[in-house]
Structure 1
Amino acid sequence: MSGFVTTAISGLLGQLRPASFRGIPFGVRGGGKALGRRIVTHRFPLRDTVTHEDMGRLERSFTVEAFLVGADLITRLKRLEAALETQGAGRLVHPHYGSLDVVVTAAKVAWSEARDLAQISITCEQYDPPAPQPAGQVNSGSLVDRLGLSSIAALVDEYSSLLTLDGLQDFVTSQLGAQLGGLGIGIGDIAAVYGFAQQVRSAVAGLLSWIDTGSDPGTSAAVVTEAIAALGVASVAGSTPDALLRVAAAGVPAPAIASDTPSKRAALSNAQALDMLVRGTAAAEAARSAAVVDFSSRDSALAYRDQVTAAIDDAADLAGAMGWDASWRGLMDLRAATVTHITRTAAPLPRVTSATPAETTSSLLLAYQIDGNTLVTLEDRAADIVRRNRVAHPGFLPGGAALEVLTDG
């Protein structure tokens, strides 16, 4: 009898083709599919004919006869049962049906531990996602961009109203020019670290040469905001918006100037106003960058949210202490909108976690083991593993080493 059973199982194995549900593999040797139209037949008294009303396409129902064979039958069966009872649609990969999202409506299990064989009859229906409905919703990214520009405009207005050079000694203008030049050097150094010095060269040149181009007080705000904006554009293109946060944190510290003469008091006031303008503008541009940058994970988005809000808080505190009321209000409105936007953006993104393959494997296989339910993005996930962990070859991830990976969990 045992020989007959062994022969029967061996014959069955030869007929099975690979399939999976929610990434749990099993074998199949066929299946069934129900399709057609939903027809309502209308019958009327004293009439020999009927009419038929078409109510739309019949739900596409599939019958899958799944088989599990092997010594670890119980463990694999429990994993498949858990997948079948998970709420919502799941990805079915079938040799005949292809790859599609389905909702399991029923399943029946028959197994024999002695024979290391389980048969699972699965009934499921193709998942049709609901059609998107129009909704009145604020474009949070557009709001952040608009409030960012408004806060920068308020900073420029209050800076310009305080800045004074006329009728003062020449060192006041020289001192402001030296600070603008120092800011230009700082922005150039930061851009060089991130690899986009060329993109900000023209704007940096405007800061460095301000004192040689007429030294018009009104143009100092323009060269500052243009340079920081150029750094923002370059950092967004390189997906490194934190470059702006370094400018916001550094600012332009005011030099030690005694305030015992009108010119020295003016020089000190100018230096403090410039520092406020730089910190506030850099924080606002960092918030605007959040509206357009593509975050790779929920963790990176939320981390950037916390960094930007901290920079805005610091700038707002300084504005409040200096009596820049319009700038303070603008920064506070920008902070609220930024928190809302980044939190909403982060919600659907994958999380960063770690995975340790037991043995050397490929990035594609590891990505499938982590989240085989999302085959559409499988190659992107595999490429992210290689890039995120700086792996030399995508086909050879080291076994036993913890790797940083993305997961939808």
Structure 2
Amino acid sequence: MNRTWRDELLPASFRGISFLIDQAAVPMGLKGQLHEFPQRDDPFFEQLGKQSQVHALTVWIIGDDCFERRDKFLEAIQTPGPGELVHPWLGRLQVKAGACEMNHSRRDGGMVAFDVTFYPDKPRQFPVARVNTRQQVVKSSESLLDSALARYKAAMAKVDQARLGVIGLRNSLSNVYAVIQRQFAPLVGLFNGISGFVQSLMNSPGALGALFSSYFSDFKGLDFSSSGSSYRSFIGTATQHSEAVSGINSVAQAGGADNMSAAQATADLVQDALLVQVGLIISEMPVASQPTSADATPSVDQQAVQPVVRPEVPVADDVLELRDSLSEAIYEASLKAEYFHYQALNTFRQDLVKHLTAVAQSGVRLVDITPAETLPALVLAYRRFGDATRVGEVVQRNRIRHPGFVPPVPLKIARE
């Protein structure tokens, strides 16, 4: 037997106290102000938002126990705070009780009538403090730079310049100078090759610290909002820095004790400068806003004319991999640091991990899928995402040789 609309009605109640409702009306639509102007026949209606759904109800409590239920109902509507109103036609609503008028009649024995008004209630939105993880990374990067410069100055003050040898320093610092060439290109022009770099250390040991201080005072990093910048490019740059940090954690044994001390102090300074630079770069990576799903997927022909516009979001797996590699590199560097510098490195590591974790949480995860047959990458991207323009993402992620022929092998694809 088919259910009718009467079967769909809910038994009315407020805070569990049942009653009867014969009819109910509630304001709907938009409230607004009608503007009428002199000498003009066309008025203008200014819409001012939705009407407040105020429920003015006449409810009845009927039965031999009407007085007992009346008292319970009065207690329910006179209790401060929100309560649940079960509306026969509108379902369960969170409301607050307002003014009420109670009516008794000898003629209507065994019944109590209430004219009561219920107002819609929503939880208050209180301000919520959010940690600015990007700014924390910037602050800890600046503190790390100050600590690194002080550490380098203290270490070089103990070195006897007269005992430094060109050949020993060249052999020890070849990898360090290669890192400067790749990651600090503006500084390379100040030296005449590695020999000039070594001569500068021997003649003026404090000059390198001054160069890095000047370098970071003008450092602008990468602009995430600029054309061509993306999470992928930021992650790629940061990954190169992480590998370079691990590559110069120690220097080759060459020359005497003073040579070794000078070489290690220089390597430590360059290593710290790499960390400061990667920190400033990563601080430009924003926490992505959650994308909204489209109502309908446009056809491939429509996308050819008007490509789908989607916000840039990171791949969580890539961000987490970068986070773990950087955390490990910083931890290894901190094992050979003095107490005061260890604190700066540890604070920097914690802030970096915190920010990258927040970035990863705003991204998408990768899943493994295996196509049932060989098909073009464009078709795979359209079937998976409803967006044919993401074909490049599928091809690059899985290093597909020919985008027209994707083999039926396990592939790494974004979940959404």
TM-score, with normalisation over the residues of structure 1?
0.54
Partner of 1:383: 392
Residue by residue over 1:222-280, the C-alpha shift from the partner in whole angstroms, topping out at 9 and shown as x without a partner, is 4467889999958996432111112211216444357xxxxx43333222322332333
User: What does residue range 230-379 of structure 1 map to in structure 2 within 5 Å?
Assistant: 233=221, 238-239=233-234, 240=236, 241-251=238-248, 253-256=250-253, 264-293=256-285, 296-319=314-337, 324-372=338-386, 378-379=387-388
1:215 to 195, 203, 216: 203
Residue 403 in 1 paired to residue 411 in 2?
Answer: yes
Higher-Rg structure is 2
Change (3 A) 1:221 1:172: farther
Once the two structures are TM-superposed, the CA of residue 361 in structure 1 deviates from its matched residue by 3.4
**Letter matched to residue 210 of structure 1:** F
Q: Equivalents in 1 of 2:395, 2:160: separation in Å?
A: 62
In the alignment, is the contact (CA less than 8 A) between 1:235 and 1:243 conserved in 2?
no
In the alignment, is the contact (CA less than 8 A) between 1:355 and 1:404 conserved in 2?
yes
Residue 150 in 1 paired to residue 150 in 2?
Answer: no
Structure 1 unaligned segments of length 5 or more: list them. Answer: 1-35, 41-52, 60-104, 106-131, 192-198, 259-263, 373-377
Change (3 A) 1:185 1:229: farther
In the alignment, is the contact (CA less than 8 A) between 2:368 and 2:413 conserved in 1?
yes
Q: Equivalents in 1 of 2:159, 2:354: separation in Å?
A: 44
Q: Equivalents in 2 of 1:231, 1:279: separation in Å?
A: 17
Change (3 A) 1:156 1:325: same
In the alignment, is the contact (CA less than 8 A) between 1:360 and 1:397 conserved in 2?
yes
Partner of 2:366: helix, strand, or coil?
Answer: strand
Q: Equivalents in 2 of 1:200, 1:175: separation in Å?
A: 23
Partner of 2:50: 56
Residue by residue over 1:263-322, the C-alpha shift from the partner in whole angstroms, topping out at 9 and shown as x without a partner, is x43333222322332333323433433222477300000111101111111111110xxx
Change (3 A) 1:163 1:272: same
Change (3 A) 1:317 1:58: same
Residue 138 in 1 paired to residue 146 in 2?
Answer: no
In the alignment, is the contact (CA less than 8 A) between 1:287 and 1:308 conserved in 2?
no
Once the two structures are TM-superposed, the CA of residue 370 in structure 1 deviates from its matched residue by 2.8
**Letter matched to residue 259 of structure 2:** A
In the alignment, is the contact (CA less than 8 A) between 1:354 and 1:404 conserved in 2?
yes
Structure 2 unaligned segments of length 5 or more: list them. Answer: 1-27, 33-46, 54-90, 92-124, 287-312
Once the two structures are TM-superposed, the CA of residue 380 in structure 1 deviates from its matched residue by 4.9
In the alignment, is the contact (CA less than 8 A) between 2:171 and 2:254 conserved in 1?
no
Once the two structures are TM-superposed, the CA of residue 404 in structure 1 deviates from its matched residue by 2.0
Higher fraction of helix: 1
Change (3 A) 1:271 1:163: same
Residue 203 in 1 paired to residue 187 in 2?
Answer: yes
**Letter matched to residue 394 of structure 2:** I
Once the two structures are TM-superposed, the CA of residue 146 in structure 1 deviates from its matched residue by 1.8
Question: Is the deviation greater in 152-161 or in 221-230?
Answer: 221-230
Once the two structures are TM-superposed, the CA of residue 135 in structure 1 deviates from its matched residue by 4.2
Change (3 A) 1:220 1:397: same
In the alignment, is the contact (CA less than 8 A) between 1:232 and 1:244 conserved in 2?
no
Change (3 A) 1:151 1:160: same
Q: Equivalents in 2 of 1:228, 1:175: separation in Å?
A: 29
Residue by residue over 1:143-187, the C-alpha shift from the partner in whole angstroms, topping out at 9 and shown as x without a partner, is 112201211220111111120488642535764466455422344
Q: Equivalents in 2 of 1:257, 1:405: separation in Å?
A: 49
In the alignment, is the contact (CA less than 8 A) between 2:371 and 2:407 conserved in 1?
yes
Residue by residue over 1:29-88, the C-alpha shift from the partner in whole angstroms, topping out at 9 and shown as x without a partner, is xxxxxxx71579xxxxxxxxxxxx9861799xxxxxxxxxxxxxxxxxxxxxxxxxxxxx
Change (3 A) 1:58 1:366: farther
Percent identity over the alignment is: 20
Q: Equivalents in 2 of 1:225, 1:335: separation in Å?
A: 21
Aligned pairs, number: 267
Partner of 1:136: helix, strand, or coil?
Answer: coil
Q: Equivalents in 2 of 1:167, 1:39: separation in Å?
A: 83
Partner of 1:401: helix, strand, or coil?
Answer: coil
Q: Equivalents in 2 of 1:383, 1:133: separation in Å?
A: 43
In the alignment, is the contact (CA less than 8 A) between 1:283 and 1:311 conserved in 2?
no
User: What does residue range 156-235 of structure 1 map to in structure 2 within 5 Å?
Assistant: 156-164=149-157, 168-169=161-162, 171-172=164-165, 175-176=168-169, 179-180=172-173, 182-188=175-181, 191=182, 200-206=184-190, 208=194, 209-212=196-199, 215-223=203-211, 233=221
TM-score, with normalisation over the residues of structure 2?
0.53
